[in-house]
Amino acid sequence: MNALDVEWEERLKEARQKARAAGRGDVADYLSLRAANDMARTTGVQWLLEAFMALAGEANRAGAGLAFARDEAHRFRTGASTMVGAKLTLRAGVRALTIEAGWPRTPGDGIVRGGGLAGGRLSHFGDRAAGDDLLLVQKQAGAPQWLVLDATGARTELAEERMRRHVARLSHEK
Protein backbone atom coordinates (compact mmCIF):
# COMPACT_ATOMS: atom_id res chain seq x y z
CA MET A 1 0.00 0.00 0.00
CA ASN A 2 1.50 3.34 -1.01
CA ALA A 3 1.42 6.56 1.04
CA LEU A 4 -1.56 7.95 -0.88
CA ASP A 5 -3.60 4.82 -0.13
CA VAL A 6 -2.71 5.02 3.57
CA GLU A 7 -3.70 8.70 3.68
CA TRP A 8 -6.96 7.96 1.85
CA GLU A 9 -7.83 5.16 4.28
CA GLU A 10 -7.17 7.44 7.27
CA ARG A 11 -9.31 10.24 5.82
CA LEU A 12 -12.18 7.84 5.17
CA LYS A 13 -11.97 6.65 8.77
CA GLU A 14 -12.08 10.24 10.06
CA ALA A 15 -15.00 11.09 7.76
CA ARG A 16 -16.97 8.06 9.02
CA GLN A 17 -16.38 9.10 12.63
CA LYS A 18 -17.49 12.68 11.92
CA ALA A 19 -20.59 11.48 10.08
CA ARG A 20 -21.61 9.20 12.96
CA ALA A 21 -20.97 11.98 15.49
CA ALA A 22 -23.19 14.32 13.42
CA GLY A 23 -25.98 11.74 13.30
CA ARG A 24 -25.49 11.06 9.60
CA GLY A 25 -25.71 7.28 9.64
CA ASP A 26 -26.45 7.23 5.90
CA VAL A 27 -23.17 8.98 5.10
CA ALA A 28 -21.27 6.79 7.57
CA ASP A 29 -22.78 3.66 5.97
CA TYR A 30 -21.77 4.86 2.50
CA LEU A 31 -18.23 5.57 3.68
CA SER A 32 -18.05 2.14 5.32
CA LEU A 33 -19.11 0.53 2.03
CA ARG A 34 -16.53 2.62 0.20
CA ALA A 35 -13.81 1.50 2.62
CA ALA A 36 -14.84 -2.15 2.22
CA ASN A 37 -14.77 -1.84 -1.57
CA ASP A 38 -11.38 -0.15 -1.47
CA MET A 39 -10.05 -2.98 0.70
CA ALA A 40 -11.40 -5.56 -1.78
CA ARG A 41 -9.85 -3.61 -4.67
CA THR A 42 -6.46 -3.35 -2.97
CA THR A 43 -6.54 -7.03 -2.05
CA GLY A 44 -7.54 -8.05 -5.58
CA VAL A 45 -4.84 -5.97 -7.26
CA GLN A 46 -2.14 -7.21 -4.89
CA TRP A 47 -3.24 -10.82 -5.35
CA LEU A 48 -3.09 -10.52 -9.15
CA LEU A 49 0.44 -9.09 -9.15
CA GLU A 50 1.70 -11.54 -6.52
CA ALA A 51 0.21 -14.50 -8.41
CA PHE A 52 2.07 -13.49 -11.57
CA MET A 53 5.27 -12.90 -9.56
CA ALA A 54 4.97 -16.42 -8.11
CA LEU A 55 4.47 -17.91 -11.59
CA ALA A 56 7.46 -15.93 -12.90
CA GLY A 57 9.51 -17.27 -9.98
CA GLU A 58 8.56 -20.83 -10.92
CA ALA A 59 9.49 -20.16 -14.54
CA ASN A 60 12.84 -18.72 -13.46
CA ARG A 61 13.60 -21.74 -11.31
CA ALA A 62 12.99 -23.82 -14.45
CA GLY A 63 15.49 -21.66 -16.37
CA ALA A 64 13.27 -19.01 -18.04
CA GLY A 65 15.43 -16.03 -17.02
CA LEU A 66 12.55 -13.56 -16.64
CA ALA A 67 13.27 -10.03 -15.44
CA PHE A 68 10.59 -7.95 -13.80
CA ALA A 69 9.73 -4.37 -12.93
CA ARG A 70 6.91 -3.18 -10.70
CA ASP A 71 5.29 0.27 -10.60
CA GLU A 72 2.94 0.98 -7.68
CA ALA A 73 1.87 4.42 -9.00
CA HIS A 74 0.57 3.47 -12.43
CA ARG A 75 -2.22 5.01 -14.52
CA PHE A 76 -3.69 3.37 -17.60
CA ARG A 77 -6.64 3.93 -19.91
CA THR A 78 -9.38 1.42 -20.47
CA GLY A 79 -12.07 2.69 -22.77
CA ALA A 80 -12.87 6.27 -21.77
CA SER A 81 -11.77 5.72 -18.16
CA THR A 82 -8.46 6.00 -16.34
CA MET A 83 -7.50 3.31 -13.85
CA VAL A 84 -5.06 4.12 -11.08
CA GLY A 85 -3.17 1.23 -9.55
CA ALA A 86 -0.13 -0.91 -10.18
CA LYS A 87 1.77 -2.45 -13.07
CA LEU A 88 4.05 -5.47 -13.26
CA THR A 89 6.17 -6.09 -16.36
CA LEU A 90 7.80 -9.46 -16.94
CA ARG A 91 10.49 -9.57 -19.65
CA ALA A 92 12.33 -12.29 -21.53
CA GLY A 93 14.56 -10.72 -24.16
CA VAL A 94 12.30 -8.64 -26.41
CA ARG A 95 9.13 -10.35 -25.19
CA ALA A 96 7.18 -8.70 -22.39
CA LEU A 97 4.01 -9.42 -20.45
CA THR A 98 2.48 -6.40 -18.74
CA ILE A 99 -0.05 -6.85 -15.94
CA GLU A 100 -2.00 -3.68 -15.08
CA ALA A 101 -4.73 -3.36 -12.46
CA GLY A 102 -6.48 -0.49 -10.74
CA TRP A 103 -9.65 1.54 -10.40
CA PRO A 104 -10.79 5.14 -10.93
CA ARG A 105 -9.90 7.31 -7.94
CA THR A 106 -11.63 10.59 -8.83
CA PRO A 107 -14.88 11.36 -10.66
CA GLY A 108 -12.85 12.64 -13.61
CA ASP A 109 -11.20 9.21 -13.97
CA GLY A 110 -14.50 7.67 -15.08
CA ILE A 111 -15.94 4.31 -14.10
CA VAL A 112 -15.07 0.62 -14.09
CA ARG A 113 -16.99 -0.79 -17.02
CA GLY A 114 -19.10 -3.85 -16.44
CA GLY A 115 -20.02 -2.99 -12.86
CA GLY A 116 -16.84 -4.31 -11.30
CA LEU A 117 -14.70 -3.02 -8.48
CA ALA A 118 -11.52 -2.69 -10.56
CA GLY A 119 -10.23 -3.23 -14.06
CA GLY A 120 -7.11 -4.84 -15.38
CA ARG A 121 -5.27 -5.83 -18.48
CA LEU A 122 -2.76 -8.51 -19.46
CA SER A 123 -0.85 -7.50 -22.59
CA HIS A 124 1.95 -9.06 -24.59
CA PHE A 125 4.37 -6.69 -26.32
CA GLY A 126 3.87 -6.99 -30.07
CA ASP A 127 0.91 -9.38 -29.82
CA ARG A 128 -2.25 -7.47 -28.94
CA ALA A 129 -4.52 -10.45 -29.64
CA ALA A 130 -2.79 -12.53 -26.95
CA GLY A 131 -3.88 -10.19 -24.13
CA ASP A 132 -6.87 -10.26 -21.79
CA ASP A 133 -9.09 -7.57 -20.33
CA LEU A 134 -9.92 -8.22 -16.68
CA LEU A 135 -12.68 -7.21 -14.27
CA LEU A 136 -12.54 -7.57 -10.49
CA VAL A 137 -15.92 -8.45 -8.98
CA GLN A 138 -17.10 -9.12 -5.45
CA LYS A 139 -18.44 -12.65 -5.04
CA GLN A 140 -21.49 -13.17 -2.83
CA ALA A 141 -19.53 -15.17 -0.27
CA GLY A 142 -16.62 -12.88 0.33
CA ALA A 143 -13.40 -12.74 -1.62
CA PRO A 144 -13.03 -10.63 -4.76
CA GLN A 145 -12.50 -12.53 -8.01
CA TRP A 146 -10.84 -11.61 -11.31
CA LEU A 147 -12.79 -12.37 -14.47
CA VAL A 148 -11.60 -12.39 -18.08
CA LEU A 149 -13.79 -10.36 -20.44
CA ASP A 150 -13.89 -11.52 -24.04
CA ALA A 151 -14.92 -9.48 -27.09
CA THR A 152 -18.51 -10.74 -26.88
CA GLY A 153 -18.85 -9.60 -23.27
CA ALA A 154 -18.71 -13.11 -21.83
CA ARG A 155 -17.01 -13.41 -18.45
CA THR A 156 -14.94 -16.35 -17.26
CA GLU A 157 -12.91 -16.80 -14.10
CA LEU A 158 -9.21 -15.99 -14.43
CA ALA A 159 -7.88 -19.47 -13.78
CA GLU A 160 -4.33 -20.31 -12.77
CA GLU A 161 -3.81 -22.30 -16.00
CA ARG A 162 -4.61 -19.22 -18.09
CA MET A 163 -2.13 -17.18 -16.07
CA ARG A 164 0.51 -19.90 -16.57
CA ARG A 165 -0.03 -19.77 -20.35
CA HIS A 166 0.56 -16.00 -20.32
CA VAL A 167 3.87 -16.47 -18.48
CA ALA A 168 4.85 -19.42 -20.69
CA ARG A 169 4.53 -17.23 -23.83
CA LEU A 170 7.54 -15.26 -22.63
CA SER A 171 10.01 -18.10 -22.76
CA HIS A 172 8.81 -19.85 -25.91
CA GLU A 173 6.32 -19.47 -28.75
CA LYS A 174 2.79 -20.71 -28.16
In a domain, 12, yes or no: no
92 contacts 78 by C-beta, under 8 angstroms = no
Does the residue 140 lie in any domain? yes
Q: In what order do the strands lie in the sheet with 155-157?
A: 67-78, 81-92, 95-103, 118-124, 127-138, 144-149, 155-157
158: in domain: yes
Residue 61 lies in a domain: yes
Could you give the percent of the chain with pLDDT greater than 90? 55
Q: Is residue 62 part of a domain?
A: yes
Cα separations (Å) of 128 from 36, 115, 161? 34, 24, 20
Decide: 106 and 83 in contact? Cβ < 8 Å. Answer: no
pTM: 0.83
Provide the residue range defining the domain that includes 123: 47-171
Give the count of domains, the chain: 1
Q: Is 163 inside a domain boundary? A: yes
DSSP 115: G
Q: What is the pLDDT of residues 46-60, one digit of tens each?
A: 999 999 999 999 999
pLDDT of res. 174: 42
Over residues 90-102, the pLDDT tens digits come to: 999 899 999 999 9
Q: Decide if 23 is inside a domain.
A: no
Burial of 53 (0-12, 13-18, 19+ CB in 10 A): middle
Mean pLDDT per 10-residue run, the chain (174 residues)? Answer: 64 76 76 79 94 96 94 91 95 95 92 89 92 89 87 90 94 58
Residue 134 belongs to some domain of the structure: yes
